[in-house]
């Protein structure tokens, strides 16, 4: 995660009401289930938890003595909400924080505090360390994505950390883990070989990073044979292709001594750097500007995939978009280094559009992690002491659960155009997939914040008589859930007719809808 250097909130402008125009002509969509695409890997729906603001302390960890209901110090309400998302993996401990993290300070009965120089200069107590993270991962039923310190740490330190986590008790570090309360080796499914080494991770040139990455890939071992481990190298910063070229060129010529299974891509929707767009009270232009940037993810993936295809035509190395989402101005009155922002219906539309892009590139994009999970940036969950609420983005991820490990089904349609203030976007978007049980799911997004949209979907190769699911809309595009009104933006049940081999459904302006065919 890039360091926040400065940010200024825009003054609240026009608050855009939804549903002010009549619906336009129906969008004609053709679904062809006879031509399945790639599997949409469940890991595309991954999460990210960094030691940043209240993302960990207060958001996940409250301590064993807290009056907030918890299990071994971890909030029960947050665990319950995340279990409902079927979170496939959580990336931890960062982010920029990872490349200054000393795992030794966060294990054992006596923790050693440090200053979090990346995020707000606050004291990091290290009470939530390796064992607590693994406990959290097990409680929510997810896989661990651990980013090792390639910036300020050594390959030996990273190797010993993996040894602590994954070796048997016959090993000295495995025995230390057992002494700390966990005799069984942990499972580390994914290993991050540094973070943003082109910036906060060490400002390394591509070639220098490749040399460092090779050493870490060679010497940082997984000793738990029950859990194969994939390694993710640092990749591009947005549209910059220099890391993509260097890492993939090295991978093509790699020997038996090292390997990687993923290349990371980081890209945020900001409306221009530094982040300055407000999370609330924004006008139609700012609604469109942010979504326009989010849709640009498609072009980024195409650019980097084309380079990867030259070196890896069999697509053995996944493109891992392990930081994405809206990065807005800090909420008024918050610590700028804590990256606190509200989460509106605009964020819900942004999340759906981005997940749809990942689904279309499922052959190469096989993992992604939205930033971040709790209380930071485009969060799933917000907490305040004993209170917790679910954001519009959370609801989109929950609605999209059927797409995890489902097979992409191609759709053809004319997306039309929505234009405002010199910004032009598609008017609508849609994707479809068939789950492992054979059920077909369709997700439709109406980007236009003023007009409802009607979809007429021809269901070639699908036998269905009805469709049902949920739709997420809001009174205004900047509507948010608050602790006083936590249900302002929540999904509502929706049914649609299937007649003559066609599904017809009308959805609200600026909405996200997911339907299953029966």
Q: Which residues are catalytic?
A: 196, 323
Q: Closest Cα partner for 303 from 389, 241, 226?
A: 241
* Residue environment code for 138-159, b if the CB has 16+ CB neighbours within 10 A, otherwise e: ebbebbbbbbbbbbebebebbb
Token pair, residue 465, equals: 């008589």
Alpha helices in 270-321 (DSSP H): 284-295, 297-311
238, two tokens: 């947005």
Gap between the Cα atoms of 118 and 9, Å rounded: 21
Calpha distance 384→389 (Å, rounded)? 9
112-117: Cβ within 8 A, 24+ apart: 116/51, 116/52
Neighbours of 435 (CB within 10 A): 17
Residues 65 and 126: their CA atoms lie apart, in Å, by: 16
Among 188, 104, 513, residue whose Cα is nearest residue 348: 513
Q: From 231, 235, 193, 190, select the one nearest 88 (Cα to Cα).
A: 190
Return the residue matching tokens 């030259």. 310
The answer to whether the CB of 118 falls within 8 A of the CB of 100 is: yes
Is 16:283 a contact under the CB 8 Å cutoff? yes
């Amino acid at each position: 995660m890039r360091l926040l250097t400065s940010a200024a909130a825009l003054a609240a402008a026009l608050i855009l009401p939804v549903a002010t125009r009549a619906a336009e002509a129906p969008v004609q969509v053709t679904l062809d289930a006879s031509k399945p695409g790639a599997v949409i890997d469940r890991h595309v729906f991954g999460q990210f938890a960094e030691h940043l603001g209240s993302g960990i302390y207060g958001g996940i960890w409250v301590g064993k003595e807290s009056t907030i209901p918890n299990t071994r110090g971890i909030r029960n309400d947050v665990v319950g909400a995340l279990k409902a998302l079927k979170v496939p993996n959580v990336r931890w401990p960062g982010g920029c924080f990872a490349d200054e993290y000393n795992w030794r300070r966060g294990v054992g009965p006596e923790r050693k505090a440090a200053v979090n120089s990346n995020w707000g200069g606050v004291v990091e107590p290290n009470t939530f360390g390796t064992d607590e993270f693994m406990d959290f991962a097990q409680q929510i039923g997810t896989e661990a994505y651990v980013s090792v310190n390639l910036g300020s740490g050594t390959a030996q330190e990273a190797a010993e950390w993996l040894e602590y986590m994954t070796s048997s008790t016959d090993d000295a570090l495995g025995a230390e883990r057992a002494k700390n309360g966990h005799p069984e080796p942990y499972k580390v499914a994914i290993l991050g070989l540094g973070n943003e080494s082109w910036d906060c991770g060490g400002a390394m040139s591509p070639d220098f990073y490749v040399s460092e990455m090779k050493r870490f890939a060679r010497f940082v071992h997984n000793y738990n044979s029950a859990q194969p481990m994939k390694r993710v190298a640092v990749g591009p910063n947005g549209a910059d292709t220099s890391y993509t070229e260097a890492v993939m060129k090295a991978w093509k010529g790699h020997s038996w001594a090292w390997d990687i299974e993923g290349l990371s891509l980081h890209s945020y929707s900001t409306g221009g750097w530094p982040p300055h767009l407000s999370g609330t009270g924004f006008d139609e232009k700012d609604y469109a500007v942010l979504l326009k940037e989010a849709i640009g993810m498609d072009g980024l993936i195409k650019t980097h995939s084309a380079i990867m295809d030259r070196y890896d035509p069999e697509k053995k190395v996944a493109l891992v978009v392990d930081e994405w989402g809206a990065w807005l101005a800090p909420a008024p009155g918050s610590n700028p280094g804590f990256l606190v922002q509200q989460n509106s219906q605009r964020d819900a539309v942004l999340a759906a559009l981005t997940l749809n892009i990942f689904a279309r590139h499922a052959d190469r994009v096989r993992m992604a992690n939205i930033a971040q999970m709790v209380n930071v940036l485009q969060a799933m969950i917000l907490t305040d002491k004993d209170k917790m609420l679910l954001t519009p983005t959370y609801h989109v991820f929950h609605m999209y659960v059927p797409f995890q490990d489902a097979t992409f089904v191609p759709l053809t349609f004319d997306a039309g155009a929505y234009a405002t203030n010199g910004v032009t976007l598609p008017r609508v978007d849609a994707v479809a997939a068939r789950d492992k049980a054979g059920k077909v799911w369709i997700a439709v997004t109406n980007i236009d914040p003023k007009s409802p949209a009607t979809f007429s979907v021809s269901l070639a190769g699908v036998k269905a008589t009805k469709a049902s699911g949920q739709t997420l809309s809001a009174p205004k595009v900047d509507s948010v859930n608050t602790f006083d009104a936590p249900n302002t933006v929540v999904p509502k049940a929706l049914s649609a007719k299937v007649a003559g081999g066609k599904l017809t459904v009308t959805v609200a302006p600026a909405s996200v809808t997911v339907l299953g065919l029966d």
